[in-house]
Amino acid sequence: MIQVEQTPNPDSLKFLSQKILSKVGTEEFRKTNLSNINIPFVKEILSFAGIELILISDNFLTVKKEKNVSWDSLKPMVISHLNDYLEKNNEPILFSKSENNNPDENETISKIKEVLNTKIRPAVARDGGDIKFKSFSGGVVKVELQGACSGCPSSLMTLKQGVQNLLKHYVKEVNSVEAV
């Protein structure tokens, strides 16, 4: 059974599943990269007219639509497609990842990632989004907001008042946070 939740972004909906959708964490896929995507389920959802991106997490899928498209037609198509996949497949949509962990990562970056993963990502995931660490240099942490957070009207406030304040509190080397 798929449950649907609103997100703070009016152009995104969160589709919750009782089954695991990803065993590799959260991944975002954009229609602009459709030719580079080799996951059939993802390609099919992104081929729906009006869908810009999808974010797949452990037990939810967030879909962001174009502003000029209505959820009235998209929502049932996404639910139907997701139910069909879950009925026919025993594996999650995402079950392997080629990304390597960097053993040379410095202590500050490790602390930043720890705070992002334990204190920030769970809160952002409740709203149907994700936050990915991109870089740290000169006291500035660069992150990428994904899913419902991508283009959300309140994302700048979340970034500055939430993410930046938490990172500055837990990691003294952090001076500011920027979205890329």
CATH of 107-179, one of 3.40.50.150, 3.30.300.130, 3.40.640.10, 3.30.1860.10: 3.30.300.130
Lowest mean pLDDT among 42-51, 97-106, 118-127: 97-106
| Average pLDDT over every residue of 152-169 | 86
pLDDT, tens only, 129-143: 899 999 999 999 999
- Given a cut of 50, whether residue 99 has pLDDT beyond it is no
Q: 26-61: per-residue pLDDT in tens?
A: 899 999 999 999 899 999 999 999 999 999 999 999
Options 3.30.1370.70, 3.30.750.24, 3.30.460.80, 3.40.47.10; CATH for 3-88 is 3.30.1370.70
> What pLDDT score does 154 carry?
82
- Four-point Cα dihedral 153, 133, 53, 158, nearest 10: -20
pLDDT at 158: 80
Q: How far apart are CA 47 and CA 31, in angstroms?
A: 7
Its pTM stands at 0.71
Asked whether the beta carbons of 35 and 43 are under 8 A apart, the reply is no
pLDDT reading at 104 higher than 80: no
C-beta separation of 136 from 113 below 8 A: no
Domain coordinates of the chain in residue numbers? 3-88, 107-179
Per the CB < 8 A criterion, the answer to whether 79 and 73 are in contact is no
Residue 161 confidence (pLDDT) above 90: no
